[in-house]
């Protein structure tokens, strides 16, 4: 145990790397998925391109996608560090899933609500932000949380290209100490705690949205 304690600073540093990779990829993926989904709505050509992108991303292993980006891009002159390649690959990977979540959330809203809002002199902008968006967010939030957790877990694959995140650092500790059970148990607990933190955050936000305070007040104000 005392021998393992000397690696605590390395482990905490690796935890920071995992958090940084996951946060960048989750934010980037959410923005990418939302933007592409919005652009493709109502455009059959762009929608088919979007479906092709989703089909490729969801139908192939993330490890293969990461390998193509990290080892393939230098062949066309694009040099990325291992961490940069991981963020890019994770962003593209999670973007497909986030986009489908946003699409499903949008489809969950009854189409007649927009017409009813316009009939009551509520502008399209106010209808979106005060009526449709809160409903879509409540629908999507649990799925978004699950995808964030998935992104955290997928970040472990970055160890294959030597990114010093939790999994790689744990493997190095094991190689140096020949202790297997404790380091890998700590690794499992670390990922579990990160997942629980996301889940608790989603639950807290869901509870806030269920109150519906600001939404109901704004909608009533325009009736």
Give the start-to-end residue ranges of the domains of the chain. Answer: 1-215
Buried b / exposed e along 135-174 (16+ C-beta atoms within 10 A): bbbbbbbebbbbbbbbbbebbbbbbebebbbbbbbbebbb
pLDDT at 128: 76
pLDDT in the model for residue 68 = 97
The pLDDT assigned to 178 comes to 93
CATH number (3.20.20.150, 3.40.630.10, 3.40.630.40, 1.10.3720.10) of 1-215 reads 1.10.3720.10
- Rounded to 10 deg, the angle between the 82-107 and 133-154 helix axes is 150
Residue 113: CB atoms within 10 Å: 13
Q: pLDDT of the chain along its 223 residues, tens only?
A: 677 889 999 999 999 999 999 999 999 999 999 999 889 988 999 999 999 999 999 999 999 999 999 999 999 999 999 999 999 999 999 999 999 999 999 998 887 877 787 778 787 778 777 788 888 888 999 999 999 999 999 999 999 999 999 999 999 999 999 999 999 999 999 999 999 999 999 999 988 887 754 444 443 334 4
CB 198 within 8 A of CB 149: yes
Dig out the tokens for 90 from the structure. Answer: 């994770």
Query: Quick check: 98 and 34 in contact, CB under 8 A?
Result: yes
Which pLDDT does position 216 carry in this prediction? 42
pLDDT of residue 1: 65
Q: Do 75 and 118 meet the contact criterion of CB atoms below 8 Å apart?
A: no
pTM of the model: 0.87
- The per-residue pLDDT for 123 is 77
């Amino acid at each position: 145990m005392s021998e393992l304690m000397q690696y605590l600073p390395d482990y905490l540093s690796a935890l920071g790397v995992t958090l940084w990779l996951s946060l960048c990829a989750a934010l980037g993926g959410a923005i990418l998925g939302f933007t592409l989904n919005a652009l493709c709505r109502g455009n059959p050509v762009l929608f088919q391109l979007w479906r092709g992108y989703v089909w490729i991303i969801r139908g192939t292993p993330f490890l293969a996608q990461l390998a193509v980006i990290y080892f393939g891009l230098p062949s066309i002159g694009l040099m990325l560090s291992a961490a940069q390649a991981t963020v890019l690959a994770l962003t593209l990977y999670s973007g497909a899933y986030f986009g489908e979540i946003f699409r499903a959330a949008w489809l969950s809203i009854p189409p007649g609500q927009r017409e009813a809002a316009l009939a009551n002199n509520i502008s399209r902008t106010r209808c979106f932000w005060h009526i449709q968006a809160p409903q879509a967010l409540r629908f999507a939030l649990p799925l978004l949380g699950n995808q964030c957790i998935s992104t955290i877990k997928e970040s472990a694959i970055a160890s294959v290209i030597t990114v010093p995140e939790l999994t790689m650092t744990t493997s190095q500790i094991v190689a140096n100490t020949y202790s297997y059970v404790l380091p890998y148990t700590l690794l499992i607990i670390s990922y579990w705690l990160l997942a629980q933190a996301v889940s608790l955050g989603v639950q807290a936000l869901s509870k806030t949205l269920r109150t519906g305070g600001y939404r109901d007040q704004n909608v009533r104000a325009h009736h």
